[in-house]
Amino acid sequence: MRTQICIIGGGPSGLLLGQLLHRQGIETVILERKTKDYVLGRIRAGILERGTVRLMREAGVGARMDRECFVHDGTVISYGDEEFRIDFTEHTGSHVVVYGQTEMTRDLYEAREAVGAPIVYEAEGVTIHGADTDAAHVTYVKNGTEHRIDCDFIAGCDGFHGVSRQAIPLSTRKEYEKIYPFGWLGVLSETPPVHEELIYAGSERGFALCSMRNANLSRYYIQCALSDSPADWTDAAFWQELRRRIPEEHAEALITGPTIEKSIAPLRSFVTEPMRWGRLFLCGDAAHIVPPTGAKGLNTAASDVHYLYTGLTQHYQGDDEGLDRYSERALSRVWKAERFSWWMTNLLHRYPHMSEFDIKMQQADVAFLKSNTQAQSVLAQNYIGLPY
Ligand code: FAD
Ligand code: DHB
């Protein structure tokens, strides 16, 4: 088979890129290792920046999002029992929306199916060949038979554990990494959210986040030990711990119920450079990971998609500037998202061996943010998403 762009990975990056390219008349084939149900079963991000919202609309898949999303003009930050609000609209004139990654992925799958664009599920052994030559191709195995796709370019949208990044020789690739000594335990529960906006909470007992998916679906996270497993946490223990980390007023208002999902994610900062090797372009988690504090993971994947989609569209119009500068442009924004997520993680988490001095520094950082409108503006600009 031959196509213009072979996209490896049918997560949000691959699907969004495929849909945007389709609208430009550019052919794609998506190879996804898992089943559609598996991908849709993963509960991940919940906050979309304005740029991600714009791309969804540009891809022709914004209708349900525009109808069902919640607009958030600000967020609450708490530290112990003290809390304050950061007003995004006041500082930036913009906002974010609550719309789950699961819903976004579902909309993109439906749109792809509606236009009949090919997607191969359960593609095993995906292998990239000749990415640094003019004969780039990808092979994979489906139902025991090997297939080959010849293409102009390969988009590596296969997440952190994918094969695309590994196809770039170590002599060319440089990786930067920071592993945090804690994880996030997340639950989903069919209960009304504790507050109409998100609460990012720092406390002596560690971080907590109160988020939501809709009026009767709440998403809560607490910082946990890396050695914990979801089975160690009964629902009652989770709710009790969450209550102890958020201001009393919210702890009293919290409505609890059975959890319908419970999982632990480790926290990591990671960037690989460059994001292009010959005809292979990395996009999203395949190239970088942020700790989830600040909701940048999915949104940074979307900004990569923007740069790559623009570059590929220009290429087929005879101009290679966008492709030639893809890695530089994407990385410039990626590093700023890395900085923000790292800073917000440090602001609100308890590290295992924090000294009294470290704690004083954290308290001073929070106090400065609480009292300084310019510091609030910096947070707001980063949270709603840096321009691209
Ligand atoms: P992925 O979503 O990882 O998609 C990659 C796809 O490629 C997957 O479908 C995978 O099955 C497929 N694939 C992998 N290897 C191969 C292969 N060899 N061949 C073919 N296909 C392959 N971000 C936030 O902003 N907020 C959050 O709360 C949040 N929570 C998260 C929780 C977890 C457990 C994880 C892992 C991530 C979380 N993130 C969160 C990050 C966010 O979900 C990601 O940034 C986003 O999913 C990136 O999209 P992607 O398409 O680049 O990668
Ligand atoms: C959610 C996750 C985040 O990491 C975040 O910063 C905000 C919201 C969520 O899953 O709702």
Q: Distance from the CA of 311 to the center of ligand 1, in angstroms?
A: 23
Q: Is the CB of 11 under 6 A from ligand 1?
A: yes
Residues of the chain with pLDDT under 50: none
Assess whether 326 and 208 both reside in one domain: no
- The residues that bridge with 104 in the sheet, in sequence order, are none
314: Cβ contacts below 8 Å, ≥ 6 apart: 320, 321, 322, 323
Residue 94 lies in a domain: no
Up-side HSE of residue 94: CA atoms within 13 Å toward CB? 19
Q: What is the ipTM of this complex?
A: 0.97
Residue 76 lies in a domain: no
Assess whether 255 and 108 both reside in one domain: no
Residue 87 lies in a domain: no
Q: Is the CB of 344 under 6 A from ligand 1?
A: no
The pLDDT assigned to 8 comes to 98
Q: From CA 382, how far away is CA 387, in angstroms rounded?
A: 9
Q: By alpha-carbon position, which residue is closest to atom 41 of ligand 1?
A: 297
The pLDDT assigned to 52 comes to 98
* H or E stretch covering 7: strand 2-8
CATH number of the domain that 287 lies in? 3.50.50.60
Up-side HSE of residue 246: CA atoms within 13 Å toward CB? 26
* H or E stretch covering 368: helix 356-371
Q: From CA 345, how far away is CA 292, in angstroms rounded?
A: 8
pLDDT digits (tens, 9 = 90+) for 317-373: 999 999 999 999 999 999 999 999 999 999 999 999 999 999 999 999 999 999 999
Assess whether 138 and 280 both reside in one domain: yes
Interhelix angle 356-371/326-348, rounded to 10 degrees, is 110
Q: Distance from the CA of 79 to the center of ligand 2, in angstroms?
A: 18
Q: Is the CB of 329 under 6 A from ligand 1?
A: no
**Which of 207, 211, 219 to probe ligand 2 with, by most ligand atoms within 8 A of CB?**
211
pLDDT digits (tens, 9 = 90+) for 202-239: 999 999 999 999 999 999 999 999 999 999 999 999 99
* Residues catalogued as catalytic: 72, 200, 292, 296, 383
Assess whether 312 and 276 both reside in one domain: yes
Assess whether 43 and 184 both reside in one domain: no
Q: By alpha-carbon position, which residue is closest to atom 8 of ligand 2?
A: 46
Residue 78 lies in a domain: no
Residue written as token pair 């460059």: 274
Q: By alpha-carbon position, which residue is closest to atom 24 of ligand 1?
A: 45
> Nearest ligand to the C-alpha of residue 201?
2
The pLDDT assigned to 383 comes to 98
Residue 316 lies in a domain: yes
Q: Distance from the CA of 150 to the center of ligand 1, in angstroms?
A: 25
Which amino acid type is present at position 327?
Answer: S
Q: Distance from the CA of 105 to the center of ligand 1, in angstroms?
A: 11
CB 127 within 8 A of CB 146: no
Residue 103 lies in a domain: yes
Distance of CA 129 to the CA centre of its chain: 28
> Which residues' Cβ are closer than 6 Å to ligand 2?
45-47, 198, 209, 211, 219, 292-295
Assess whether 245 and 119 both reside in one domain: no
Assess whether 241 and 378 both reside in one domain: yes
Dmax (CA) of the chain: 63
Q: From CA 381, how far away is CA 385, in angstroms rounded?
A: 6
Assess whether 336 and 302 both reside in one domain: yes
CATH number of the domain that 211 lies in? 3.30.9.10
Total tally of structural domains belonging to the chain: 2
Q: CB 332: neighbour CB atoms within 10 A?
A: 13
Residue 108 φ/ψ, nearest 5 degrees: -70, -40
Omega before residue 169 within 30° of 0, cis: no
The pLDDT assigned to 369 comes to 98
Residue 54 lies in a domain: no
Q: Is the CB of 297 under 6 A from ligand 1?
A: yes
Assess whether 132 and 216 both reside in one domain: no
The DSSP annotation for 93-162 comes to: S--EEE--HHHHHHHHHHHHHHHT--EESS-EEEEEE-TTSS--EEEEEETTEEEEEEEEEEEE---TTS
Sheet holding 82-87, edge to edge: 82-87, 74-79, 199-202, 208-214, 217-224, 174-189, 259-273, 288-289
pLDDT > 70: what percent of the chain?
Answer: 100
Q: CB 61: neighbour CB atoms within 10 A?
A: 23
Assess whether 369 and 274 both reside in one domain: no
CB 327 within 8 A of CB 377: no
Domain that holds residue 377: 180-266+350-384
Residue written as token pair 């976004």: 104
CB 151 within 8 A of CB 137: yes
Assess whether 157 and 212 both reside in one domain: no
Assess whether 44 and 109 both reside in one domain: yes
